Each structure stands twice: as C-alpha cells, then as structure tokens.
Amino acid sequence: MMVDYWPYVVIIVAGWLATDMWRWLGVIAGNRLREGSEVLNWVRAVATALVMAVTAKLVVFPSGMLENSPLWLRLAAAGLGFAAFLLSGQRVVVGVVVPLAILGAGLLWL
C-alpha cells in the first residue's frame, strides 16, 4: 500500500528541500543585514525586476480570455492603472481596480 504513495513522498520531500531550505537560509542571512545595506538594496531590486518581468509577460503574452483582447487595450489598462496608482498616493487598491475596470469596459465595448 505504501509503495503506491512513494512517488508522492519523494516529491514532497524534494519540494521541501528545494524551497524551504533556502527560505530558512534567507531568514538567517537576512537577520544579519542592515536595513540600508547594499546587499539588501540589490535583493529588493532583483525581486522588483522579477515581479515586473512576470507582469510584463502577462500583459504582452496573456493566456485565457485576455489572449483574445487587443494589445493596445492591455497596455492602456496597465499604463492608466499605474498612473492612477501614483496619483492616488500609491494605494494598491486603486492600482488593481482601475486597470481591471478599464479591461472590463474595453472587453465589453469591443
């Protein structure tokens, strides 16, 4: 009976080792860094770049229903949403709701 579940156990253990070990090492190393250190600034820059790369990929090469929407609508929604985010004092809710409303209205209108 346990032989049937052996691959799942291996996947869970390997997944834990591949991710959780690095998280704990990050916590240990992060506790030793000063808030304004160059290393921490570099880590923030890399994390921000990764988030923006994923966002750009989702806007330019979407999947699902957005795949049928025109590129100009997706770019306009992203740009106007970012502008609304900045104008609202960097309120995340505004930065999420405005582009969704623009995309929704654009998809209904087209």
Digit-coded pLDDT (tens) for 57-84: 999 999 988 898 999 999 999 999 999 9
pTM of the model: 0.65
Please name which of 61, 27, 62, 54 lies closest in space to residue 43, comparing C-alpha atoms.
27
Q: What pLDDT shows up at residue 2? A: 64
Round to whole Å and give the CA distance between 102 and 16. Answer: 40
Q: What is the mean pLDDT of residues 10-33?
A: 82
pLDDT band at 1 (very low <50, low <70, confident <90, very high): low
Check whether 93 has a pLDDT greater than 70.
Answer: yes
Q: Produce one character per residue of 3-25: b if its CB has 16 or more CB atoms within 10 Å, e if not.
A: eeeeeeeeeeeeeeeeeeeeeee
The pLDDT tens digits of the residues spanning 32-58 come to 778 888 888 898 899 999 999 999 999
